[in-house]
Structure formats: C-alpha cells, structure tokens
Structure 1
Amino acid sequence: MATAAVIGLSGGKRILSSSYHYSDVTEKLSFGTDFRSTHYQIVPTKLSMDIKYARRRSIERRRPGLTDDDSVLELLVTGLRPRWSTKKGTPSPCIRGRLAFFSYFVRVIVVLSPDQCGCVIVGNPSDEREKQSELIGLLCGCLQVIIQKLGSSKPTKYVFLQYADQIMGLFYKVFACRNATAHKEAMLAIGALAYAIGADFAKYMPEFYRFLEMDLQNFEDYQFCAVTVGVVGDLCRALEDKILPYCDGIMTQLLKNLSSDNLHRSVKPPLFSCIGDIALAIGENFNKYLMYAMNTLQLASELYAHTSGFDDERTEYINSLKNGILEAYSGIFQGFKNSSKTQLLIPYAPHILQFLDSIYMEKDMDEVVMKTAIGVLGDLADTLGSNAGSLIQQSLSSKEFLDECLTSEDHLIKESAEWAKLAINRAISV
C-alpha cells in the first residue's frame, strides 16, 4: 500500500491503513505542478498514458510474489527509461512534463512522510513490513530514474537541483528503516544523485560518509556491499579530488575487504576497479596509498594470471578479476600522468608488463579484458614515457599482442590499440 510505503520513510509511529492503493498513487503521479502559476496547480501530463498502460500490462507481466499495485509501479519504472528522451536546445513540452512529474512526485513523498510521524503496523507485521519495504524500494527506484534523466539535461538540471536537499533527507529516512532492500535502492539512487550534482555533492559527504563506511563493512550481505562499492565509484567521478578527505577510511576498508576470506568472491572485481576510480579522482595524492595498493594488485595478478584447466564459469570469473585489476592499474597511471611523482610508478612497470604478457599467452581472455589490457599498455607508455621505453620493447605485449589487437574486428579494441601504438612509439623514440 502506498500509505505504508511513503509514511514508512519517517521512521516514527503512525497507523497504516488501506486508504488507497499504489495504483491511486501512480494516478496522482501522472499529474505535475504548473510552474506558470503563482499558486501551484495540478495539471495533467503525458505520463498519465504511461500509468494506464502500466496498469494494463502489469497484469500480463507480473512477477510471482508481487501484488497488482507493486507490479504497476515496477513496470512504470521500467517504462520510464526508454520513453523519456532528452532533446538538445530550448526546454520542450516533454521536458516541462518531466519537471512537473518530478516536482509533484517529491512533494507527495514529503507531504506523506513528515518528520515527526511514523508507523504502527496493523495486521500481520512481517507481511506488512515486507510489502512496505518493497514499495519503498520501488519509490527509490523511481527517483533514481528521474534523477538520471533530469540530471543529464541542462534545461531541467537547474530546477532538479532545487530538490537535492529534500531528496537526501528522504534517503536518510530510508536508511533509518533498516531494511536491506530499500537501503540498497536508496544507495543506488544516491549514486545517481551524486553523479548528477557533481562536485556540489561534497556538502552531503560529512553526514553520508558514516552510512557509506558502514555499508562497505557489510560482509553478510555481499550484494549490498557490491552496490556500495559502485557508489564509491560514482562519488569519485562526481567529486574528483574533493573526495580526498574521506579516502583514508575508504581505502583502508577496500584493502581490508580484498584481503578477507569472508567476503563473497563476486565483490572483488569491482573492489579492484574502485581503487582505480579513487586514484583517477585524487591524482598524485594517491601516493600515500600507492605501496599498499600496488602490493595488493601484484599479489592478485600473480594469483589469477593463469586460468588453464578451469571450467567456463571459473574462467569467466577469473576474467572479471583480471579486468578489475587492469582497471585499477589504468586509473593509477592516468591519475599520476603529468604529475611530478610519475617516477614512483617506475618500479612497478616490470611486473605490470609481465602480467600483460601472461594474459596474452594464456589465450583465454575475453574481449573486455583484451580492450582493458591494451589500454593499460598504452597508459603505461603514455605516463612513464622513455622511463619505460626499454622495458616495453622487451615485452610481448608491445609486439604480438598489440598486432593482434590492431587487426581485431572489435572497433573498440582496435581504437585502443591504435592509441596504445602511438603512445608506445613516443616512449621508444625519445
């Protein structure tokens, strides 16, 4: 029920009743705020057609375990993605519709979840809480889609930013619910919000960081931990060097997670990639973590360099690990490029080239690993230049592997190889 979902965001005590269903909420969300009026008025938008379509199709495509109301909102969220297309130029009626929808959507949540009220479950507590959490998660999913769409369009972004404080306040209330499903959806939406806001998200970091740090330590729910690692990457891209004050805690936890035997193996590839995101964001300031990060990457690359004899599933997982390690190296090289501390990377060059050679000789890498590996070779040559020229000339990766990538039918691999060839030629010719 919608009342349960929205009022539950407040974390206090209010009786949940069957006053209306989610289909009623989605009907209300098909209207928006008319900004032309001094007093806000509710006006119909094109989204009402989406609602009616979602209600009809939800009956046909409902997943087991979902009520009609849950299915309507789930299908609506999915339908929003392809139907909202951003056009360049002046604000269009389509953009006005998005603004109107977003405005009223946030206002409905805020109005129905005042700070001092909460909920008392009537009926079967466990069932009601499960339904409530499912619906809160779907609402957060709606917000994530809206944030992504409005944040990517300049004509709508300035209006969208006016609601950032309200949105973060709502997400903090979701965290207070202590439900994993809703929490994960809110965390994903925050990642989208950070990416949309950019460097200005720094003002939310002092309060948000305590949730981030706590979630990175959540070994019991590995999917939850993986989501949070992805959000760290979003924060790095949004904040860039403004994330530096929080890097001590984040890097400590990332390295601790990578060394843990209790963390599910699926989380480790994104953990490696996240190290590269941090290095790219803070540049030469990564120096204080360089030795610890490189030692961890070196141990991992030696452990996962060889995959012969494994079944397909194991080989696919090893490839994902290799790609994560390579992305970490790439972020580190790019982060140190043009800095006064590039010489700190020279001692690690021989091992990285050896790792690239072993990947090539194994002959079981997929296209993703191939593209990332040839990119790392280019990054190494581009960053270290003549300091690594002789090492590169001795490497198989700069010869047979590069030639193979240059003749690849995958245009992305071929483009990366052409760039790497130019970087290598510059490094060798100096």
Structure 2
Amino acid sequence: APRLDRNVKVVIIGTFADIAMAIDVQFERYLEPVVNILNDAQNAAVVTDPNDDDQVDYVDRLREACLNSYTGILQGFKGVDETAARRCISTFVQSIVQLIIRSSQLEPVPPSDSLMATTAGLIGDLVGLYGQDIVGFFNIEAVTQMLQTARKSKVAKTRSMSSWASKEMKKVSVE
C-alpha cells in the first residue's frame, strides 16, 4: 500500500480542533480514538537528527497540530460546561502535559515561534481550568525557559501568549 505523505498527517490532526470546536461537548464520543491518534502522533514527533531541517520542521508542525487539537477540544468543552471540560480533559491531561514539556525543550532544537505560542496558549488554558492542581507541572525549568524565550520573541503573538500564560501561572501560584 502506498504510504501517506507525512505532511497529510499534520493536516488531518489539525482538523480535530475545528471539529471539536464545532460540536463542543458532543465531541466526547470521539475523545478516546482522537486522543489515541494524538498520542501516537506526539510519540512519533521526535527529532532524531537535529541537522535534518525537514525533520525538525515536520516534528515542530506535528507537535503544534497536536497541541492545537488539544486546545480545540478543551475550548469546545469549556465553552459549554467547565465541569465537563475538567472531567473529560482529566482522562488525558497527562499526555497533554508531556507534550507541553517536550515542546518546551530548547534542546536538541528550539521550538518555532508558532509552536511556542501554541504551547503557551494551552498552558494558560490548562492553568485557567485546573489552577493549582496543574501549575506545578509547568513550574519546571524547561517550561519557564521556553516562556522566557517566547516573551522575547520578535513575533507579537508569541510574546503575548507567553506573557498571558506566565500571568495565569503567577495568579494561581500566589493563591
């Protein structure tokens, strides 16, 4: 069988966010298979050769597509019922946290501005949803360094998302 171009995977994974946002809580019935697909994708999203620009770019885009899907799922639920969102997301929040931590690492290859913005946005969303229960996972060097780097970005969206995520983290860390 012919192999699917790997870039198609990125596009397909990216559509989950749109679907989740469109059908909000009704997405729950698709949650398990979609999360399994996202898990497989994020586990495959590893840079094995930092000098291979195509691979680095692909991994970056794949991670971003996964994070965008998680964001869409979270926002789709949250828009309707925050308690339902917390309950549903909690079943796979560990996978999201792992991907956030992996996407935050500046080694072997730093994340793109776009990936940093998406990662920061999801951190902010999760901290907004779970508060002190989750913020500890993000108060680690990899994440704080990434947010620091992102706040100095030349890209406005990256700066604003990372500043917002940092503020959300500070809010619940102080409480």
TM-score scaled by length of structure 2: 0.83
Match of 1:360 among 100, 104, 107: 104
Aligned residues: 170
Q: Distance in 2 between matches of 1:409 and 1:312?
A: 21
Match of 1:405 among 150, 153, 157: 150
Root mean square deviation of aligned Cα: 2.3
1:329 aligns with 70
Q: Distance in 2 between matches of 1:376 and 1:411?
A: 17
2:139 aligns with 393
Structure 1 residue 414: Cα displacement:
0.5
Q: Distance in 1 between matches of 2:135 and 2:58?
A: 33
Structure 1 residue 352: Cα displacement:
1.7
Q: Distance in 2 between matches of 1:319 and 1:422?
A: 25
The percent of aligned pairs where both chains have the same amino acid is: 25
1:274 aligns with 15
Deviations 1:342-363 (A, max 9, x none): 2221242233222222222233
Helix, strand or coil for the counterpart of 2:111?
Answer: coil
Structure 1 residue 388: Cα displacement:
1.8
Q: Distance in 1 between matches of 2:141 and 2:27?
A: 27
In the TM superposition, 1:24-43 aligns within 5 A as: none
In the TM superposition, 1:28-107 aligns within 5 A as: none
Structure 1 residue 303: Cα displacement:
1.2
Deviations 1:192-220 (A, max 9, x none): xxxxxxxxxxxxxxxxxxxxxxxxxxxxx
Q: Distance in 2 between matches of 1:414 and 1:285?
A: 33
Q: Distance in 2 between matches of 1:411 and 1:386?
A: 28
1:297 aligns with 38
Structure 1 residue 288: Cα displacement:
1.1
Structure 1 residue 411: Cα displacement:
1.5
Q: Distance in 1 between matches of 2:164 and 2:32?
A: 28
1:160 aligns with none
Q: Which protein has greater RCO, CA pairs closer than 8 Å, 6+ apart?
A: 2
Instruction: Please state if 1:376 is matched with 2:122.
Output: yes
Change in 2 beyond 3 A, CA 1:408/1:295:
same
Q: Distance in 1 between matches of 2:172 and 2:90?
A: 13
TM-score scaled by length of structure 1: 0.37
Q: Distance in 1 between matches of 2:171 and 2:73?
A: 20
Q: Which segments of 5 or more consecutive residues in structure 2 lack a partner in the other structure?
A: none
Match of 1:349 among 93, 100, 114: 93
Helix, strand or coil for the counterpart of 1:365?
Answer: coil
In the TM superposition, 1:72-151 aligns within 5 A as: none
Q: Which has the larger radius of gyration?
A: 1
Q: Which segments of 5 or more consecutive residues in structure 1 lack a partner in the other structure?
A: 1-259
